[in-house]
Amino acid sequence: MRRMPTLVQWMLALLCANLVSWSAARAHLTDSREGRWLLAALIVLAYMTFCVVTGLKVRRARRQQESLWHGDAAAQSLLVVFASQTGFAEQLALQTAQSLRRGDVAVRVLPLARLTEDDLAAATRALFIASTTGEGDAPDSAAGFALRMQHAGAPLPQLSFGVLALGDRSYARYCVFGHALAAWLRQRRAQPLFDVVEVDNGDDGALRHWQHQLGVISGYRDDSDWSAPSYGRWRLAERRLLNPGSLGDPAFHLALTPLDLPAPQWQAGDIAEIGPRNSAEDVRRFMRALSLVDAALVEPLAARVLPLDGFPDLQGLPAPALLARLKPLPHREYSIASLPQDGTLDLLVRRMRQADGRPGIGSGWLTAHAPEGATIALRIRRNSGFHPPPDDRPLILIGNGTGLAGLRAHLRARVAAGHVRNWLVFGERSRAHDWFHRDEIEAWQARGQLQRLDLAFSRDGAERIYVQDRLRQAAPALREWVEQGAAIYVCGSLQGMATGVAQALQEILGEDALIALAEQGRYRRDVY
């Protein structure tokens, strides 16, 4: 293909030269028999050149049209692009790529932060898997790309795309970033392959719909349904109340040991997904309401959502039909507070309250209903977006409440590696009751393994002081650490703390600098 423009140019030049020669000699050529033969030959050559040029143009246009619809299998891959906050979007991107490759589709996977205009201009098909964090925000690593989306850019009429939008319906701005990404692509004249697929908290039905669309794209329909990985069996070895007398809800240190061998491995920043259970009393209440006496129903009912009322439509159903009507309890996620070499998987869990005052589904099971020694259904989910820095660069850890769990794992990893440039900024209600793992933290500080510690106990003074206030007070030191290459990790509540910390960091470092840190992997968050 690269030689065709040269061939076309040569033939056009020859045609022009012939025409010029013909025009100059026309008067003389027609005066003799030889001249008439030469004139005829020139006309034939001109016609042949015209036919060749026209044929090449038609061929190029046909190939461009075929590429527009089908792409070039030899030179071009389908893009699978992800924007992930907790690692779930990245996990789905890899599963998406595996499914497409089973249909012999060439796939290229990359994070949204690394997607360039050249990538978009060269692509004919792209799939985007985009999380929405907080109230409609892009994941931290994609914040810079979100800013670039404010400008439409060059048209992309050759691009067909699909979007899988991950979100949580409990937030008002549900799946907003995924929809914003789709709107931005449409503004650039890219064509959607199908409507945006919304996923509420990992909803299996929505993911099966996405998988169906992948089958349409690849032509491979025999791929088995994606299923949630099996939970492992863990023993609840210890449960210890950390904040007796606190003004807040009780918080517990939990230690679990694996019952299945080999023991699973994890890194600082990874997540424990818990398969919760209903309390024995809730199961008994439900069975009494439906006059159920079959003891075999106790275990399956313990793992399903049990309505508080509205029982009439469930009365009299046979056991299989009853269980089919009840949804499985959703899993719950907790930051892991330890390392595998510690011998236990540690969690820091606050007992939450539902609207009716009952303990939360996950926290109630772990902190109230499950007795010590009970078997806990748990699986570890890799959270690469919150893994530790690969080197000994300074590390600033910021968090509040039970967010200390993820920070504790990072500090343990840093101490084990001999990396001492660590700074912890932690906030809670009261120094006397809510300084979780105080002895351990003070020991790290005394040994020089925690070089700086800033604490914010909001209820200890007349003025409410929070972690973002401590950051502003330490602004010169914060800028100095960042200039020295420090990474900033934030773990804790999204509402209040994470937003306040982000605002403080923008004031101290500047918005552009904070976006750059996120894109470099030096500003990471695990917030909930």
Give per-10-residue mean pLDDT for the chain (528 aa): 39 45 46 53 51 46 35 63 93 94 94 95 96 88 92 91 91 89 91 87 83 86 69 97 94 97 94 93 93 93 87 87 89 93 97 87 95 95 88 97 96 97 96 95 97 94 92 98 97 84 94 87 87
> What φ, ψ does residue 301 adopt, rounded to 5°?
-70, -30
Cα separations (Å) of 388 from 45, 346, 396, 400, 410?
72, 18, 11, 19, 7
Residue 262 — φ and ψ, nearest 5°? -70, 155
In this predicted structure, what is the pLDDT of residue 32?
54
Is the pTM of the predicted complex or chain greater than 0.75? Answer: no
Q: Tell me what pLDDT residue 252 has.
A: 98
- Strands (E) across 132-262 are located at 160-167, 191-192, 197-200, 232-241, 251-258
Q: CA angle, 526 as apex, 522 and 528 as ends, to 5°? A: 150
Q: Tokens 């914040």: give the residue.
A: 143
373: left (phi over 0), alpha (psi -120 to 50) or beta: left
Tell me how far apart the alpha carbons of residues 71 and 525 are, in angstroms, rounded to a whole number: 38
User: What is the rounded end-to-end Cα distance, in angstroms, of the chain?
Assistant: 54
| Main-chain phi, psi angles of 95, to 5 degrees | -65, -40
The span from the CA of 501 to the CA of 398, in Å, is 8
CA distances from 485 to 378, 395, 396, 417, 512 (A): 36, 9, 11, 18, 16
Q: In this predicted structure, what is the pLDDT of residue 266?
A: 97
The pLDDT, as a whole number, for residue 490 is 94
What confidence score (pLDDT) does residue 171 get? 80
What is the predicted pLDDT for the residue at 38? Answer: 53
What pLDDT is recorded for position 288?
Answer: 92
State residue 63's pLDDT score: 41
Report, in angstroms and rounded to the nearest whole number, the Rg of the chain calculated over CA atoms. 32
Residue 40 is predicted with a pLDDT of 53
- Distance between CA atoms of residues 234 and 255, nearest Å: 10
